[in-house]
Amino acid sequence: MSEVVMDKSQATITELTTIGQLIDGEMIIDGERSQPIFNPSTGKSEKNIDLASVATVEAAITSAQAAFPAWRNTAPIKRARVMFKFKELLEQNAEKICELIGQEHGKISHDAMGELQRGIENVEYACGAPELLKGEFSKNVGPSIDSWSEFQPLGVVTGITPFNFPVMVPCWMFPMAIVCGNTFILKPSERDPSATLFIAQLLQDAGLPKGVLNVINGDKTAVNTLLTDKRVQAVSFVGSTPIAEYIYSTAAANGKRCQALGGAKNHAIIMPDADMDNAVNQLVGAAFGSSGERCMALSVAVAVGDTAGDLLVEKMTIAMQDLKVGPYSNPKNDFGPVITKAHQEKVNAYIDSAEKDGATIVVDGRNPEVVGYEDGFYVGGTLIDNVTTDMLSYRDEIFGPVLQVIRVNTMQEAMALIDAHEYGNGTCIFTRDGEAARYFSDHIQVGMVGINVPLPVPVAYHSFGGWKRSLFGDLHAYGPDGVRFYTKRKTITQRWPSTSLRENVEFAMPTLK
Ligand code: NAD
């Protein structure tokens, strides 16, 4: 039996010890099943998450469906005004949001602030809805005939998000879906749900009508209910590739539009002419920032030619001496723990396997000493040299602070190796040669490419998405593709015939002669 625990006038999420559901503007505890949420910096659990039952998810869908007709008919400028207010509230509550991200994800405040800022930029883009939804108009496509295309909302849509960006990735989805006139059900990661629930509450405070955004916390029971309920029209997913593939095929089999973004293995090519000091600085941040738990993290450096490999490893080793891993609460740390004990063990096991397969562990981050936080889920920055493409540590996504170095003779070899990998999310080339960079960006089989830019995450007014098994579906996330994903095109052809222009019966396909 669900129980209402608070309304928006009461205590905020920052004070809750059980993270529940936001349905129809009210915080509900389902009460059937729950599991602990850990603070990865300490390894302790201070909160629980309520795992939604089928009935609770169905209640959220009912709420979203009931809210749809009025929201669909609300003027886009009024929908955008709620987002303008939401942006203000996000900025005013930035510290609280980053604290919640830190407590449950382990991200250091500078990194959490960057995540929040990227999320806010998606809200800013969504504020342009009246312009984005203007449609297309053609006058006189035939005698006294005008034609236009408009972009109508889909209805109830859902988003299922990963642990590594509890604020930014939800902001890729619900602001745009909502300003387009849809109602939304968000299913955040069960590992760090508080920051997500908190921003959803801020959107209520910004004036969003009840039921337009519902948040369901839960596991695969919740996800499967969303994927199979006929009232849900579309699914946005971001997470690991096996789950992305499952979500895409299940959603499609149930007649839903779907975009499912998956995992990654992002390579950086280091050309012989690269500014090596700059490349090393960029690589350190892009490989180890956020403990390597970014889908755009650079996890493989491909050194081209006779000398680049040795120089890269030498300079990386020196740069990594200063890396500081530790709790989220100390802003002097460069990165925090990984998300769970199980994930810490998994990352360590990949380093073990690389060693067993004959690679060289140049800097070993297994079991780092973090004084006072001995139970935290820490892995230090790790550099592995002489990696080959047959190794498990190379083939799989590790999702930890581990950079592997592969050495090749030519740029063509480096590109062939990237193209052969199952993932195609991001990649980067470090070079001073414009011709090589242009060839690389034109031909590489990867969705997001950097030229001397290590994390080429598109800004909010472009769209984000990988190729190959990094994305199932057609449209990328947010930006212009986001508008297309959350709307369906309707094309209307109109004539108001005057009595003097009455037409004869015509059986031929209408054309303009
Ligand atoms: P995950 O796939 O384990 O979980 C993602 C979501 O799916 C969560 O909400 C989770 O509750 C749900 N889920 C998990 N198992 C499920 C199941 N069996 N059935 C139904 N739902 C299930 O991913 P994660 O560990 O939270 O996030 C890390 C992964 O996400 C990495 O692989 C990373 O590369 C990827 N990622 C990709 C992008 C991108 O844009 N391509 C962005 C961020 C993260």
* CATH 3.40.309.10 in the chain, residue ranges: 266-451
pTM recorded for the entire structure: 0.96
Ligand 1: which residues within 6 Å by Cβ? Answer: 160-165, 169, 187, 189-190, 219-220, 223, 238-240, 243, 261-264, 295, 397, 399, 425, 466, 470
Q: Which CATH topology does 4-41+58-132+153-262+470-491 take? A: Aldehyde Dehydrogenase; Chain A, domain 1 (3.40.605)
48, 285, 289, 304, 464 from 296: Cα distances, Å: 30, 12, 11, 22, 11
Instruction: Provide the residue-wise pLDDT of the chain in tens; the chain has 513 residues.
Output: 455 554 443 446 777 789 999 999 999 999 999 999 999 999 999 899 999 999 999 999 999 999 999 999 999 999 999 999 999 999 999 999 999 999 999 999 999 999 999 999 999 999 999 999 999 999 999 988 999 999 999 999 999 999 999 999 999 999 999 999 999 999 999 999 999 999 999 999 999 999 999 999 999 999 999 999 999 999 999 999 999 999 999 999 999 999 999 999 999 999 999 999 999 999 999 999 999 999 999 999 999 999 999 999 999 999 999 999 999 999 999 999 999 999 999 999 999 999 999 999 999 999 999 999 999 999 999 999 999 999 999 999 999 999 999 999 999 999 999 999 999 999 999 999 999 999 999 999 999 999 999 999 999 999 999 999 999 999 999 999 999 999 999 999 999 877 666 677 888 888 887
Cα Rg for the chain, rounded, in angstroms?
A: 25
Question: Phi-psi bin for 200: left (phi > 0), alpha (psi -120 to 50), beta?
Answer: alpha
Superfamily of domain 266-451: Aldehyde Dehydrogenase; Chain A, domain 2 (3.40.309.10)
CB 107 within 8 A of CB 118: no
What is the per-residue DSSP string for 484-508?
HHTEEEEEEEEE---GGGPPPP--S
Burial class from Cβ neighbours inside 10 Å (0-12, 13-18, 19+) for residue 296 reads: buried
The catalytic position among 171, 180, 295, 428 is 295
Atom of ligand 1 nearest to the CA of 247: 20
Q: If you measure from the C-alpha of residue 160 to the centroid of ligand 1, how many angstroms do you get, rounded to a whole number? A: 8
* CATH 3.40.605.10 in the chain, residue ranges: 4-41+58-132+153-262+470-491
Q: If you measure from the C-alpha of residue 166 to the centroid of ligand 1, how many angstroms do you get, rounded to a whole number? A: 11
Q: Which residues contact 393 (CB under 8 A, 6 or more apart)?
A: 350, 351, 353, 354, 357, 359, 384, 387, 402, 404
Mark whether 127 is an active-site residue. no
CB 244 within 8 A of CB 217: no
Q: Which residue's CA is the closest to the ligand 1 atom numbered 13? A: 220
